[in-house]
């Protein structure tokens, strides 16, 4: 596969791989425990750990950092690229515990994640909270939107943008509305009004 291909071109194969394992797939999902950070691909299945996949055109240090960051919410965090990972990258993946995928026309699991009860940052996984938030994303239609993983800079695309549009429309009619009122009156996928406010403000959408 061409090493110069865009991240978004990896998304269809990763999506098919997760769906074949029974996961609902969402793209460009904000991590509620890391400010404005977005996760390229999230696989959700009731009663299972979520699966997080970060996409890059090659196995860079940044990709390793992002995959490591995914361990905040689940032990099943992967770095994915179309190129062959270097030994140094695999050593780093083993050290921190994230998995490695090589994506061509399909997905090859180069290295499985290391599963522990605590992540390599010294804390417990937020998988139960994140699982519940993923469930709300699914209920809110996030898996049905035409969002493509690996395209975080596309303006106006994704579930957060949809909610922001609804919030801004409601505010035009009700300019004094509190965030609690917005949360209760505007269809959204957030767990509470604080997470809704933080996610939209951190991305500059409201």
Kindly state the average pLDDT of the residues 78-103.
95
For the chain, the domains span 7-142, 158-202
Task: Note the pLDDT tens digit of each residue in 63-72.
Answer: 999 899 888 8
pTM higher than 0.85: no
In angstroms, the Cα distances linking 137 to 34, 134, 191, 192 are: 17, 5, 9, 13
Read off the tokens for 134.
Answer: 């993923």
Chain centroid, CA 89 distance in Å = 21
Look at residue 189 in the predicted model and tell me its pLDDT.
Answer: 63
pLDDT for 146 beyond 70: no
Regarding the domain delimited by 7-142, which CATH topology (the fold level of the hierarchy) does it fall under? Trna Endonuclease; Chain: A, domain 1 (3.40.1350)
Check: CB of residue 67 under 8 Å from CB of residue 55.
Answer: no
């Amino acid at each position: 596969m061409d090493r110069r291909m865009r991240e978004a071109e990896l998304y269809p194969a990763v999506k098919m791989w997760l769906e074949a394992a029974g996961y609902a797939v969402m793209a460009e999902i904000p991590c509620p425990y890391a400010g404005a950070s977005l996760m390229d691909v999230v696989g959700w299945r009731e009663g299972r750990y979520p699966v997080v996949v970060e996409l890059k055109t090659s196995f860079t240090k940044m990709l390793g950092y992002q995959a490591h960051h995914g361990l905040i919410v689940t032990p099943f965090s992967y770095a994915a690229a179309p190129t062959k990972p270097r030994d140094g990258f695999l050593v780093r993946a083993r050290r921190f515990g994230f998995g490695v995928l090589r994506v061509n026309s399909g997905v090859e699991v180069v290295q499985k994640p290391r599963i522990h009860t605590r992540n390599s940052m010294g804390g417990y996984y937020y998988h139960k909270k994140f699982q519940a938030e993923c469930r709300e994303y699914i209920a809110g239609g996030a898996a049905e939107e035409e969002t493509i993983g690996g395209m975080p800079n596309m303006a106006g695309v994704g579930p957060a943008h949809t909610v922001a549009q609804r919030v801004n429309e409601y505010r035009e009619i009700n300019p004094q509305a509190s965030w609690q009122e917005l949360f209760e009156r505007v269809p959204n996928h957030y767990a509470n009004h604080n997470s809704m406010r933080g996610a939209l403000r951190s991305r500059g959408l409201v």
